[in-house]
Chain A
Amino acid sequence: MTATKKDPVLVVLQLSGGNDALNTLVPHGDPLYYDNRPSVRVPEGQALDINGYVGLNPNMGPMKRLYDEGKMAIIQGVGYANPNRSHFRSMDIWHTCEPDKQGTEGWLGRAIREIDPNKENVLTGVNFGRGLPRALAAPGVPVASVGNLATYGVLTGIEADEQRTEALDIFSKMYSPTIGRSSVVDYLSQTGMDALKGADILSTAPEMYSSSVEYGDDVVAQYMKNIAQVHLAGFGTRILYTTAPYNSFDTHAGELAAHAKLWQNTSNAVGDFMDDLREHDASDNVTLLVFTEFGRRVHDNGSGTDHGSGGVAFVIGENVKGGLYGEYPSLEEDKLLEGDLHFNNDFRSIYTDLLENWMGMDAQPLVNGQFEKFNFV
């Protein structure tokens, strides 16, 4: 595969459960950090220093490398007004861009509809995981949702190959459009054929793939590998999405050990993913967003941290202007919001940047408003 002008691709990795921003981008130069975190902290001198004030969690080596290469933007103090500390609601807000009322359409669902209005490619958007995140949901927009790429497809429970081939053949005939039936049946036919087509194409990705990169065994690593496989297969997929296991970042207790492991895995997966794409000369048209629904309480609870606000997000890619964006929220008592970090930057600014500067789209209708960009791409 050669580096020609290729359509921009957006990959999103969602860290579910509320990643602790303070122990991810550690304000190690601020004595208030150590005051607030008597137990649940990155010990002095261990953070991977960036500017003398903040540094990355020591388990984020591969991401620090990307930062040092100038390929990673760190957006500090991300959130939205009147932060909601419910996982579900806050994630919904990130997904739908509707902080004040409940929305049902996702920002990326809308983006996929914009990219491929005539549904010419059933794989314009692909999710890895069971069930579709609301970010990708929009009525009439087909998005393949893949639990396991190696076994993805229709009627996968039929084990004998010959039998399954025959069953799929019958399936495609049964779902072929016929005249004189109701519009609902027509819609089902179309959807069944889309699903079959998507599965047929996707199932070829693993066999087309070979790489010297060895990903970890954890779920995030395996799904990042799947994303690489689908990208490298050249199906024209523009938006790829995956999610860390449900609420895995919800570190109310035993945070130090759990959080270290989570970032080892996540950071390795991100590093491996970039190495993999580079090995195949296919990294130049990919940008990766890593986000979470909220940060955590400034003061620890002795063993972990409770739900807070003001999070940190990462944008990674060859075309990214690396560096720190936004201001680190103050840890001073009177600058906190009910014991949490104040957000300085609306999350929709990140989306706007990605949609306009990277994807070349008009962001306003997709994110429900006009937001200042960071211009990190």
Chain B
Amino acid sequence: MPTNQEIAQMAHLMRRAGFGATYAELEQRAADGYEATVEELLNPTAQPDLEMDILERHFVDWREMNALEVNQAYWTYRMINTQRPLQEKVALFWHGILCTGNSKCEHGRQIQLQLDMFRELGMGNFDILLKGLSRDPAMVFYLDNCMSHKGSINENWGRELLELFAMGVGMDGHANYSEDDVKEAARAFTGWTITNAIPRYPYGRYESGFIYNPYDHDEEDKTFLGETGNFNGDDIVEIICRQPSAARFVSRHLYNFFVADEVQVPAWQNTPPRDPEAIALLEQTYFDSGYNLTAMLRVLFNSDFFKNARFEKVKSPTEVVIGTMRLVQDFTAPKLGLQPLANTIRYMGQDLMNPPTVEGWHTGAEWIDSGTLVERINFAADQVGNTSLPGIQEIVSRLDSEQVTGPDAIVDRCLELVGAYELAPETRDQLVAYAGGNGAPAPGTPEYSEAIAQTLQLIVSTQEYQFA
């Protein structure tokens, strides 16, 4: 039997490396062991992919998947049901950094294909990922590289590649690149374009393809980050990946997403990392492993700095919704209502596949305002208050069989069962007082399951539940 401490550690790992897990899954994984679970998560393809055939038969309008909303529903379903949670979490990680938005692309399917690329390459080597991104049709269009020509460059892609996708403006108080580097990078990517757009009417949208046009590529020498040569796009990526700034950039983003909330990205040039030792370790791993993300994640998840960072992050809207759904175990099979469920993520301030800008979403406390907090609380409370949902029934029957009675015991056990949440003593006292107001219903009675559901509703309304 795993100890409470082991369960709590596993709950933490599964919230961060995935979207949370039921108590039964936590018990199983804790019994398998922490490091074994990390290894399993790091090898997603050892688990089966989702069976999409049944979904496509259920949701016939998924055939073309043009609209943003359909793709949001699809991704929502995937995140709830995947047996490869880290693969999906990594896709969400890269989606928030290597941003493409439907506001410009207006073709959700094309962005979904980009997410497929993140699923495939997101845990491999950083240089391979960036090469994939440079050829991704949604990205080529989103950042106008198709408008960048020999002798007449468009800097958009070149600039964001350096600033937002791979290096950052600066670190340790100095700049990482110059304006000339931006222009030279853009020159190296001339001729990297997409196949002609096929008119949308009357047959609907077509997927774009990447194409290299050698006649539009600038073959003159470029000087980029101090190196000179007749560089093409892949050369630029390789030069970038050798830079200490790239190691810093990837490490700090991994830390911010998986470990603890950092200051917002624009402040990174002058604000040192929250945990410089952790960043140094990740940077070292970046170079030692040949820029390998799996190696970096292995070090990260097995580190003390990760294990000690419980509840140091504000959940993103996606984490709130998917985590709650995995807890209550709804939408484990296709059914109506998936679209409205996906919409709740948008209402909480994260319109997936349509970030506000190429900078992605601001994270941490910036997720929360009075409107989104109400959405979060009401959503989660509605779900866990529904005693017909399998995940809630599981919690009730477990408390039932353990004959847990009395407000203190009920609150404490519920906190463990929803994922080993820890409350400030003042908050816990309030919950106990609330649970005490229900009298002392006997296990096995409908009043007992109602009382538990009500306790769960208050638990997911706490400030603590907003943290992962």
Contacts and interface: CB of A to CB of B under 8 A. Distances in A.
Interface string A92-124: 100000000011100000000000000000100
Contact of A173 (B382, B430, B466): B430
Contacts of A103: 357
Contacts of B372: 132
A158 B463 contact: no
A89 B104 contact: yes
A308 interface: no
A359 B370 CA distance: 25
Contacts of A104: 356-357, 362
A157 B370 contact: no
Interface string A129-160: 01110100001011111000000011111100
B462 interface: yes
Contacts of A174: 426-427, 430-431, 458, 461-463
Chain B, interface SS category: helix
Contact of B424 (A88, A102, A122, A181): A181
A199 interface: yes
A209 to B, nearest CB: 22
Contacts of A141: 369
Contact of B365 (A88, A153, A163, A184): A184
A192 B463 CA distance: 8
Contacts of B458: 167, 170-171, 174
Nearest to A101: B357
B370 A155 contact: no
A320 B155 CA distance: 46
B261 interface: yes
Contact of B374 (A86, A139, A154, A173): A154
A187 interface: yes
B431 A132 contact: no
B152 interface: no
Nearest to A147: B347
Interface residues of A, number: 46
A144 B358 CA distance: 27
A167 B365 contact: no
Nearest to B356: A104
Given A88-B102, A163-B454, A184-B314, A158 B385 contact: yes
B357 A88 contact: no
Contact of A86 (B103, B364, B431, B461): B103
B282 interface: no
A357 interface: no
Nearest to B425: A178
A187 B365 CA distance: 8
Contacts of B378: 154-157
A194 interface: yes
A89 B463 contact: no
Nearest to A130: B347
Contacts of A131: 346-347, 349, 371, 375
B373 interface: yes
Interface in B300-317: 314
Contacts of B347: 130-131
Given A187-B368, A191-B373, A157 B457 contact: yes
B48 interface: no
B106 interface: yes
Contacts of A170: 430-431, 433-434, 458
Contacts of A155: 377-378, 381, 457, 461
Contacts of A188: 365, 368, 373, 463, 466
A166 B438 CA distance: 11
A20 B343 CA distance: 28
B437 interface: yes
Nearest to B384: A157
A198 B371 CA distance: 10
Contacts of B462: 174
B354 interface: yes
B366 interface: yes
Contacts of B362: 104
A50 interface: no
A127 interface: yes
B382 A157 contact: yes
Interface in B365-407: 365-366, 368-375, 377-378, 381-382, 385
B105 to A, nearest CB: 9
A86 B104 contact: yes
Interface in B323-360: 343, 346-347, 349, 354, 356-358
A130 B104 contact: no
Contacts of B371: 127, 131-132, 143-145, 195
15 contacts: A89-B104, A104-B362, A139-B366, A154-B461, A155-B378, A157-B457, A167-B434, A171-B458, A174-B458, A174-B461, A181-B424, A188-B365, A195-B374, A198-B370, A199-B374
Top 7 nearest A-B pairs by Cβ distance?
A88-B103, A145-B371, A157-B382, A102-B357, A195-B370, A131-B347, A188-B463
Given A134-B356, A189-B463, A195-B373, 15 more contacts: A86-B106, A88-B103, A104-B357, A131-B371, A143-B370, A155-B381, A155-B461, A158-B381, A158-B457, A170-B430, A175-B463, A188-B373, A191-B373, A192-B463, A199-B374
